Structure 1
């Protein structure tokens, strides 16, 4: 999520003789995002289906690759395109589970 630490170590020798001084110098760089990404920065698709009124999909293959035309997609608000201090990439991965005692039904 843009947070991390980079540690660099430098081994320095002050000459070519056996008695030349040696140093080990460490540089620690802390990395964090310049601005925080929030959900309010995006147009989000409406929720579809509920626990009590499930969304029915006819094909098992479609369950594993729900098309954006059905599920919708998230987009960055137009006025923020090119204006953010960090790059934004949007992707998704669906987790699919079979519903016990319900042949051919899946929870996505």
Structure 2
């Protein structure tokens, strides 16, 4: 499955727009990791625990979006975007969305 942020696929012709696809996940902070992150704010630097958590959440959201596109018969997703929002204190939603298409090479 090709997933691109562009509106086109160079070298490919979009034959059919199949529609919006999305995938999301809600991640909450782990108390142990939160304590370590709190200590890190004192000395500065990257909070690796949060970086890892958000990377995993983005990957889950993208995987769920791809599954939805495959179920529609798509072979590509164009105009893919990622967004995040806080749903409650200590929990964030990550959503991946784009347009599922059927494309063929020239």
TM-score by length of 2: 0.29
Say which structure is richer in strand. Answer: 2
Q: Which has the larger radius of gyration?
A: 1
Say which structure is richer in helix. Answer: 2
TM-score by length of 1: 0.29
Higher relative contact order (CA 8 A, sep 6+): 2
